[in-house]
Amino acid sequence: GSGRMAKVIRIGGAGGFLGDSSVAAPQLLAGGKLDYMILDYLAEATMSALGQLKAARPDQGYARDFTDWIWKDNLQELKAQGVKIITNAGGLNPHACRARMEELAAAAGLSFKIAVVEGDDLSGRLPDLKARGLTEMFTDATFPEPAAVFSANAYFGGRPIAEALAAGADMVITGRVVDSALALGPLMYEFGWSDRDHDLLSAGSLAGHVIECGAQATGGLFTDWQDVPDWAHIGYPVIECHADGSFIVTKPPGTGGLVSAGAVAEQILYEVGDPQGYALPDVVCDFTQVKVEEVGPHRVRVSGAKGYPPSDRYKVCVTFGDGFRFIGAMPVVGREAALKAQRQADAVLIRVGEMLRDRNLPPLRDSRIEVLGAESTYGANANPALAGVREVVARLGAEHESAEALGLMMREFASPTTSMSVGSTGWFGGAPTITPVCRVFSILLPREEVPAQVDLGGKTFTVEPERPPQPYDPAATLRPPVPADPATAPSPMTTVPLIQLAWARSGDKGDAFNIGVIARKPAYLPWIRAALTEARVKTWFAHEFMGAPAPKVIRYDLPGMDALNFHCIQALGGGQFSSLRLDALAKGKAQQLLDIEIEVPAGLLG
């Protein structure tokens, strides 16, 4: 009864990937009234790119976007407001990142207490890991050759970040942490959450998950994009976090974008597999009972996350080079453009195949032709009328063990402009590329083998990982009760595309993608669920699973949000930087599912 407001911690999400807009940080500093600002730079694919950069230039390997754009341009404001930054911009070289930050601050006459969290980088232990015969956790593949490895990092959680803040840091730069830890760490520190407070740790992780992709929580990538005003000035997310784990998602006043229940629910399901087994270093999250409620204009309250103890291991992600790939694009203009483009790309592949054979080189390991403009990414669901389209781009991808072999493809790729299809315009904007094929190899290591180190003010201390008293037991998970089938409907029935009944968002998880489907009204959910069986979704995406040894669709229920989550396994042709597909990150899969027809009672649509 002191009448004092309960403590609220405000965290802004100022960036979701290496390459995100530099307008976010100044916008959040101008209107966010923040305690913390987080910036996430480390997609799995980014780690391999930073690894290759560091191998070439040992002083690099961190996110220069952060130091030379965000940090440099906002120093005075950060100092004046005392906003604390938590970022994984350190990448594979957090000390070099801090040195650059300190250099820029000193040039501006300022100083900050910047902590580094390290210990995640295992690249010095590769021969030992290889000798132990560790196999890949999803595929049982054997450990890659150390010489081919670009990066090898354990995923830390929020605890080392919390300890760095407790030691007096006003900035924390990490290497590889799970994205959501950037927000969970400050919340553990501010609210004193312990390693046993699993429901709170799950809630704090959900808070981080919602904002770590920047404007994806505030109307970016939203199904109802016409309802989202002013993309050019889209607001970046601010969360107001409470000690009970609940939080309100909002954005700075006067900005574009949209904070609505649908937009936030979409982001909650983004890149989630099992919503009751979302495994993080600090906690295994259960989002099935999460509630998302609009409590004011551009204010959405999120509550109801539950947690289980984490496993006694850390996930370790190794990226390595496995041959090379070529990607080129050739526009074709005119009648029957799609047919001409396909025939021309086929001819180039035949020619290069013969050239390889004549030189006693192995054949191409893989190739893929996608005729963009004729809905090639839609498989059997493509609109047949588009076969007559008069303007396409033929995208040709190929893989080979050697970059030299792909040099033949590079030479031959442009030759059709004078010898094959009329209307081939060449691609004078962007030349074809040859880049390494980057694969991801994941293992689990006992936590005690990977202690985190915090380095602050010339001192280093170790954050020993606490071994959970009872590690996560998947068998203890209580699945939500299976909803009843829809009641027999008063006729007549009608058929509508899914988009009339639901919002949906998709994202990639390695060689798998997920699609979260959220009913626009609770009454729609039973009909959506009856229509969208695992088998039907698998058939709809049959072209995505082609060639997969063990393709699978798993459906999960999230009754708290009136939602379903579909996990489509072995569906991305390798995923990320090892896929030849146009949509290797699964950005368009939900859009494609939203066209599927759903049978509902006509009276329900009202």
- Report DSSP letters for 331-379, one per residue: EEESTTHHHHHHHHHHHHHHHHHHHHHHTTPPPPSEEEEEEETTTGGGG
What's the whole-number mean pLDDT along residues 382-403?
95
Q: Which residues contact 36 (CB under 8 A, 6 or more apart)?
A: 9, 10, 11, 12, 83, 84, 85, 86, 183, 186
CA triplet 287, 293, 298: central angle to 5 degrees?
120
pLDDT above 90 (res 540): yes
Domain ranges of the chain: 10-120+155-310, 320-438, 493-605
What's the whole-number mean pLDDT along residues 449-469?
92
pLDDT per residue as tens digits for the range 194-249: 999 999 999 999 999 999 999 999 999 999 999 999 999 999 999 999 999 999 99
Please give the pLDDT value at position 428. 61
Question: Which range (335-344, 368-377, 396-405, 418-427) has the least confidence?
Answer: 418-427
What's the whole-number mean pLDDT along residues 278-300?
97
d(CA 289, CA 309): 18
Please give the pLDDT value at position 8. 98
> Three-class SS of residue 184?
helix
pLDDT above 70 (res 2): no
CA-closest candidate to residue 517, choices 529, 508, 530: 529
Please give the pLDDT value at position 429. 61
Please give the pLDDT value at position 396. 96
pLDDT per residue as tens digits for the range 428-448: 667 899 999 999 999 999 999
Q: Which residues contact 521 (CB under 8 A, 6 or more apart)?
A: 501, 562
238 forms bridges with which residues in the sheet?
A: 12, 250
pLDDT above 70 (res 89): yes
pLDDT above 80 (res 403): yes
Please give the pLDDT value at position 1. 44
| 552-558: strand order across its sheet | 502-509, 512-519, 563-569, 552-558
Which CATH fold topology does 320-438 show? Alpha-Beta Plaits (3.30.70)
pLDDT above 90 (res 576): no
Residue 427: pLDDT band by 50, 70, 90 thresholds?
low
Residue 337: pLDDT band by 50, 70, 90 thresholds?
very high
pTM of the model: 0.96
Question: Which residue shows structure tokens 């495994």?
Answer: 279
